[in-house]
Chains A and B, each alone.
Chain A
Amino acid sequence: MSKRIDVKKTYKLFIGGAFPRTESGRTYEVKNSKGVFIANPCMASRKDLKDAVVAARAAQGSWSQATAYNRGQILYRIAEMLEGRREQFISEISELTGVTVKKASDEVEASIDLLVWYAGWTDKISALDGATNPVAGPYYNFTIPEALGVVGFIAPKKSALLGFIAGIAPIIASGNTVIALASESAPLPAMSLAEVIATSDVPAGVVNILTGKTAELAPWFASHMDIDGLDITGLDSKFVAEVKVAGAQNLKRIHSFKDVATPGRILAFMESKTVWHPIGV
């Protein structure tokens, strides 16, 4: 009897809730830690990024106006879906990166727990960072944090699932939409996560995921005038100055982070809005 031949997955991009191939027709080869061929993910182009920004912008208004409770449940739903696919992610991570099953398992579990952690922040971040301000006059005055808009994310090279979720979860928790560029060398967990997101009630366009060359795409993220913020946690330090100079064209909010679980990752991509109204009869 002959051995069964696997049905291999074609890796595509995730834009506006769909899984298109890159318009450029380009792919690149991803190998595992032993040098064995794994897949040919898309090498996304500037045009793919532009398409993703259009999708992210279109989705942002209604996502930010969804209730915090609703956004929290959807983030929690991603955790539920990921939990159901634990084994798949463990084997994909261990096969791709060569880590032990135990290590891969730790990362997947930490990723699920991190999603649950951020799910719980959606309806608490205003209590943390909001304020009523005792102005010296007959006015009611309060400050609340609001979603920034469309945010880009350059994912870290390592920690291809946990580091990826540590970027997208806080960005979308507040009502932003995201265009994430997956780890160049280990993009596959992020693209499998797209399948999880696609089945988690996340509205189309809220999360968009590209694969490709960081050095090629990061400057386009930085100079795009309809991206409001950029998480450059995964960017090589040698590119940081160039990206910040390009980002200054629209005064993009550009940040990078050390910790995976901190409300600072949510607040960095929020804006404080202060509202005044007179008090009187």
Chain B
Amino acid sequence: MTFEYAPAPESRASVSIKPKYGHYIGGKFVTGEKHFPTINPATEEVLSSIALGSKKDVDAAVKAAKKALDVHWSKLSGRERGKYLFRIARILQERAREFAVLESLDNGKPIRESRDVDVPLAAAHFFYHAGWADKLEFAGVGTKAKAHGVVGQIIPWNFPLLMLAWKIAPALATGNTVVLKPAETTSLTALLFAEVCEQAGLPAGVVNIVTGDGSTGALIVNHPGINKIAFTGSTEVGKIIAQSVAGTSKSVTLELGGKAANIVFEDAAIDESVEGIVNGIFFNQGHVCCAGSRLVIQESISDEFIKKLQKRMEKIRVGDPLDKNTDLGAINSRAQLEKIKELSLAGDAEGAERWSPECVLPNKGFWFAPTIFTGVTQSHRIAREEIFGPVLSVLTFRTPQEGIDKANNTPFGLSAGIWSEKGSKILWASQKLKAGVIWANTFNKFDPTSPFGGYKESGWGREGGRHGLTAYLKGVSHE
């Protein structure tokens, strides 16, 4: 006997979306010139029209940020700066429902995740960094450390509001002013955040939001008035940014791609590990730079484990992002869906074996069933390239050292997972893995106090914790 879930949709009533948006520059909503549509990826419904930031807009935003820095923000004490950040944290909490619904509408992620992860963590980031603003001299940065000035920030579409918080909170806490560009497909929560800045009474120009695509991002990166760049996105674009600023005095932090291994040893607690693997790759449709996209499993338990994993995957509920019972929402864009399909076809062509549970996908919108590939070898594209979707590649190993070698056989180094009930083995593996974040017997956990960032081609620098804070200061005593 099977029990069916009744639909349990979250109401859209808390959200009001304007038909057209401009930029938020110098404390004002200004009209843009050209516009492009932003859609709900679950239905392809046009939600609004977003301004495409031009050189004129970026110039105006940088000018406003510089003016705010010189006239107001740099003269404010850390204590007063901090109060603004506390206000922002509180307002995000007060308007949490509205942000969660809007995020799910614009991004396609399940309301359960936007409600329980994205928005509360965004508020937590502001609350955490608010407390740093008047304590920078105790952050181990020395007395000469000071703000860079105007910071250009470019964020991705997978965690729109949360990535905004990761960027803006430390920048403001350390006394910088900001020009931020949200991702092309997910601008709405950043524009709603501008309203939060208004409600918090944040001085005009301290935060400027310029919407647009990659061309707008390039204008920010190459603008001579920008002192520091913080970027989260693909490794490909990260390298272009690193090259663009090579001859300049601009400081850069990059949070880039990943191809994380989730290693399951034969002494792991199997049921917990299955949950961890599912969370690792299917959280946020796999649109996660640190997603556990490679399951590296000890051969002795592989068959049993895959069976349990498949059984668990059959329970994953794919569908309406606003339904509170949904596990896997919509793929964020048609372009991303095409990329996932293309890489999955490469998996078929190169000889890996594809499996997905039977599931009915909606007719409209962008959808991809949860998928695993078994029989994957290290040379397969699906073992090497970031798919950024709900697709898991399974590789096996015999000895622990072979597992580590396979896990580390990637140019990326953002995160890794370890599943074992043996403490010494966990610590051994965590030492050997070349990754900036190691989750042992857990996965995809985030916290403002916990530094996040990658080894190798996964980026430069950390975000979160004291380590992330120092990236927004220059003249740090240990440099």
Chain A interface residues toward B at CB < 8 A? 65, 128-129, 131, 133-137, 139, 141, 143, 228, 240-242, 244-245, 247-251, 253, 262-264, 267-268, 271-278
Contact = CB atoms under 8 A, between A and B. Distances in A.
Contacts of B442: 139, 276-278
A268 B447 CA distance: 24
Contacts of A267: 478
Interface string B414-449: 000000000000100011000111111110010101
A171 to B, nearest CB: 15
Given A131-B467, A274-B437, 9 more contacts: A131-B466, A136-B124, A136-B447, A137-B445, A241-B246, A248-B242, A251-B242, A272-B451, A276-B442
B116 to A, nearest CB: 12
A277 B437 CA distance: 11
Given A273-B435, A278-B441, A248 B451 contact: no
B232 to A, nearest CB: 14
B12 interface: no
B460 A272 contact: no
A249 B467 contact: no
Contact of A275 (B235, B238, B438, B453): B438
A131 B436 CA distance: 14
Contacts of B451: 131, 133, 143, 272, 274
B239 interface: yes
A211 to B, nearest CB: 27
A251 B239 contact: yes
A183 B445 CA distance: 47
B452 interface: yes
A266 to B, nearest CB: 9
A243 B341 CA distance: 38
B456 to A, nearest CB: 7
B456 A250 contact: yes
Interface majority SS on A: helix, strand, loop or mixed? mixed
Contact of A248 (B246, B447, B455): B246
15 contacts: A128-B140, A133-B449, A135-B447, A135-B450, A244-B243, A244-B246, A251-B235, A251-B256, A251-B460, A271-B436, A271-B455, A272-B453, A274-B438, A276-B439, A276-B445
A94 to B, nearest CB: 34
Contacts of B459: 251
Contacts of B203: none
Given A271-B436, A272-B467, A262 B478 contact: yes
A228 B247 contact: no
B462 A277 contact: no
Contact of A273 (B239, B411, B438, B457): B438
Contacts of B190: none
B465 interface: yes
A241 B244 CA distance: 10
B440 A240 contact: no
Given A251-B460, A276-B439, A276-B440, A137 B479 contact: no
Contact of B243 (A128, A134, A248, A273): A248
A275 B426 CA distance: 10
B460 A253 contact: yes
A275 B440 CA distance: 7
Nearest to A248: B242
B382 interface: no
B254 interface: yes
Interface of B: 124, 140, 235, 238-239, 242-243, 246-247, 254, 256, 411, 426, 430-431, 435-442, 445, 447, 449-453, 455-457, 459-460, 462, 465-467, 476-479
Given A134-B449, A263-B478, A272-B436, A251 B426 contact: no
A275 B447 CA distance: 12
B479 A264 contact: yes
Residue from A136, A228, A249 whose CB has the most chain B CB atoms within 10 Å: A136
Contacts of A276: 437-440, 442, 445, 450
Contacts of A245: 243, 246
Most B-side CB within 10 Å, residue of A129, A135, A241: A135
Among A129, A271, A272, residue most surrounded by chain B Cβ atoms (within 10 Å):
A272
Contacts of B439: 276
Contacts of B478: 128-129, 262-264, 267
Nearest to B458: A251
Nearest to A136: B447
Contacts of B465: 131, 133, 143, 274
Contacts of B247: 240-241, 244
Given A228-B456, A276-B438, A143 B238 contact: no
B269 to A, nearest CB: 11
B478 to A, nearest CB: 4
A141 B450 CA distance: 7
Nearest to B445: A276
Given A131-B466, A136-B447, A276-B450, A251 B254 contact: yes
A248 B456 CA distance: 11
A130 B20 CA distance: 47
A133 B98 CA distance: 30
Nearest to B446: A135
B466 to A, nearest CB: 6
Nearest to B248: A241
Contacts of B438: 273-276
A251 B456 contact: yes
A40 to B, nearest CB: 35
A43 to B, nearest CB: 27
Contacts of B452: 274
B445 A135 contact: yes
B90 to A, nearest CB: 17
A143 B467 contact: yes
A3 B381 CA distance: 71
A128 B459 CA distance: 23
A129 B460 CA distance: 17
A274 B246 contact: no
Top 9 A-B pairs ranked by shortest CB distance? A241-B247, A244-B246, A135-B447, A248-B242, A264-B478, A133-B449, A264-B479, A275-B438, A277-B440
Contacts of A133: 447, 449-451, 465
Nearest to A250: B457
A102 to B, nearest CB: 32
Contacts of B455: 271, 273
B91 to A, nearest CB: 20
A140 to B, nearest CB: 9
B263 to A, nearest CB: 14
A250 B445 contact: no
B238 A251 contact: yes
A272 B467 CA distance: 8
Nearest to A141: B450
Contacts of A249: 239
Contacts of B435: 273
Most buried by B among A128, A262, A273: A273
